Copies of this chain bind each other. A is one copy, B any other.
């Protein structure tokens, strides 16, 4: 740690040129996350370019096996392949890795953490802490305090997922294909499997040929059970990509063990960390991607009785959260803030 003159950690960002990488920097800046040095890591293609952090230009270095020397905390968001290859190297070099990919999430030795839910699991880490899937985070931040109060037995989720979840190139493709569409031009999809302009489609992950569930849905199911430490919660989920840039929405219906009213849910939501209620029936104002974009909180609204369950055990609601922030960079930085490295480095 030759250059680390303060007690603040050296932080590396892996994938600094990506959509989440940019938000790692912005989020650390916004939250006053103190560091002694930023190491900006990316592929050889970006090495030598610069990123701006707190008014200073930081030269991007190539991600190599030597890149983690002296690093205390490494925030990874460069895809599962990069994480699998380099996270163990970073750990060996002495860093704690907060990994935004799905590579280690279901590893029993890796804590899967949403700080509002299971911050205590951070202490179990053996070098890697996994950041959950964005669609899971968006649902679980509001569902957890309800689950604590009145156990959720079953949940059915339909997602409305933004381009950002597939990265900066997908966001560009949504913009450019829409521009082409409006100009009457043909646009051949390069990133997404289907035309994106004014269209929507099944989530762009592989489909299990047996179950018919896409990988995103399987992540939501498995990660919910791991984070809630509840293997019996029954989850049905449909993940859909919609032509929105960077905030996910979800229509959620859940059934509790005991009867539950919308007033009870509203009272729980009013106290819930990381949640903002947006639920104005008179003005028809509810969670929307344009309002969630750039916000830290999960917006929660349309809280109402699920009319398909006359027993009074079920509630429906609609939520929205910034996929790049709470769904990715913010959650990872929140985890990093809770690491002992932050004060002990």
Contacts and interface: CB of A to CB of B under 8 A. Distances in A.
Interface string A240-280: 10111100010101000000001000000000000000000
Nearest to A233: B308
A195 B285 CA distance: 12
Given A281-B207, A282-B209, A245 B198 contact: yes
B289 A199 contact: yes
Contact of A284 (B195, B207, B238, B307): B207
Nearest to A289: B199
A174 interface: yes
Contacts of A86: none
A309 interface: yes
Contact residue range for chain A?
35 or more
Contacts of A156: 156, 253, 306, 308
A303 interface: yes
Contact of A198 (B243, B281, B303): B243
A85 interface: no
Interface in A185-239: 193-195, 198-202, 204, 206-209, 211-214, 221, 234-238
Contacts of A284: 193, 201-202, 204, 206-207, 214
30 contacts: A158-B251, A160-B242, A174-B198, A178-B182, A194-B290, A198-B243, A199-B289, A200-B244, A200-B249, A202-B284, A202-B286, A202-B302, A202-B318, A207-B282, A208-B281, A211-B304, A211-B305, A212-B303, A212-B305, A213-B307, A214-B284, A221-B307, A236-B306, A236-B307, A236-B314, A238-B316, A238-B318, A240-B249, A242-B242, A243-B243
